[in-house]
Amino acid sequence: MKKSNSMWVFIYGALAVMLVYNLTPFFWMVVSSFKSELEVVSYPATLLPNVFTTDAYEKIWLQEGFLLYFKNSLTVSLSTAALSSLVGIFAGYGFSRFRFKGRLAIMTAFLATQMIPGVLLVGPYFKMMTLTGLYDTLFGLILAQTSITLPFSVWMIKGYMDTVPIEIDQAAEVDGASRLQTLFLCIVPLVLPGLVATTIFAFLLSWGDLLWALCLISDPQKQTMTLGITQLVGQFRVYWSEIMAATVIASIIPACLYLVLQRYLVQGFTEAAVKE
């Protein structure tokens, strides 16, 4: 009995240490965003603001044009997630239900693309976007990020659809349903948790992207949040309080998205772990 109690004490103690370790940077980010420019760089550092101020947030929204950056990030991330999931549904269903020559090779190629570092693809993408006239456009950035998230989406959705019995397709076909009706009315509702998890992954990957936005966008009016934050790091001065405020704002959307869709996210990853 004592040994069992000691084990639980150790487990909860380890979880508490991990919790503090993971939440401390977020706590420091939030409190620093409410400090003045002088206090945020003062030494020794203060745990809580001596003077609570929202100047950093006012500068971010009113002076630095971060509202536009926020809208651009939201547009690119939502479009990337939607396009990646939509194409992933059709591709995942095709790979799950049809047997054709080269199927395994194509799936292996999809998986292999995830092993290539993104920085190695910047040059070819830049060349293609320039030749097609898509360089420095949000649409070009959406296509680039979709091509990065799509292989993962196809693999994930295909795995979830494999868990749905083929008899459901056959029953729907007997009832006169078309392939599209079978897919969207019978199959998609059954794999909805997995689809939500896949969509969130694509959204978060696009939302936190810096590399592709930095290489494919040069117009200040089309910059995303991550790219806008880098503008606060100058040659002779770093605007720490404004960086912290911008990071807090950028973290709100992923945090709210996770809280709202937490049930589907956890269920989706759980089903992925136990599927046959």
Q: Is residue 99 part of a domain?
A: yes
Residue 154 carries which side chain, given as an amino acid letter?
V
What is the rounded radius of gyration, in angstroms, for the C-alpha atoms of the chain?
23
pLDDT over threshold 60, residue 250: yes
CB 44 within 8 A of CB 26: no
CB 157 within 8 A of CB 194: yes
- Burial, 231: exposed, middle or buried (Cβ in 10 Å; 0-12, 13-18, 19+)? middle
Burial of 268 (C-beta count, 10 Å sphere; 0-12/13-18/19+): buried
Give the closest residue to 60 by CA, choosing from 42, 94, 35, 33: 33
User: For 93-102, 147-156, 230-239, which range has the lowest pLDDT when averaged over its residues?
Assistant: 230-239
Q: Specify if 1 maps to a domain.
A: no
Mean pLDDT value across the chain: 83
Number of H helices, E strands in the chain: 14, 0
With residues binned 3-state (H G I as helix, E B as strand, rest as coil), the percentages for the chain, rounded to 5, are 75, 0, 20
Residue of higher predicted confidence among 118 and 162:
162
Taking only the tens place, the pLDDT of each residue in 62-77 is 766 788 888 999 999 9
Q: Is residue 41 part of a domain?
A: no
Task: Give tens-digit pLDDT for 160-212.
Answer: 888 888 888 888 888 888 888 888 888 988 888 888 888 888 998 899 888 88
Please state the pTM of the whole predicted model.
Answer: 0.82
Is the residue at 116 inside a domain? yes
Are 66 and 246 spatial neighbours (Cβ–Cβ below 8 Å)?
yes
Residue-number span of the structural domain to which 231 is assigned: 55-274
Count of domains forming the chain: 1
pLDDT at 145: 92
Predicted local confidence at residue 276, as pLDDT? 43
- pLDDT, tens digit, for every residue of 8-37? 888 888 889 998 888 888 888 888 888 888
Q: Is residue 40 part of a domain?
A: no
The answer to whether residue 157 sits within a structural domain is yes
In a domain, 50, yes or no: no
> Could you tell me the CATH number of the domain that includes residue 248?
1.10.3720.10
Q: Which of 8-12, 59-63, 95-99, 134-138 has the lowest mean pLDDT?
A: 59-63
Whether 174 is covered by a domain: the verdict is yes
Query: Using 50, 70 and 90 to split pLDDT, how confident is the model at 221?
Result: confident
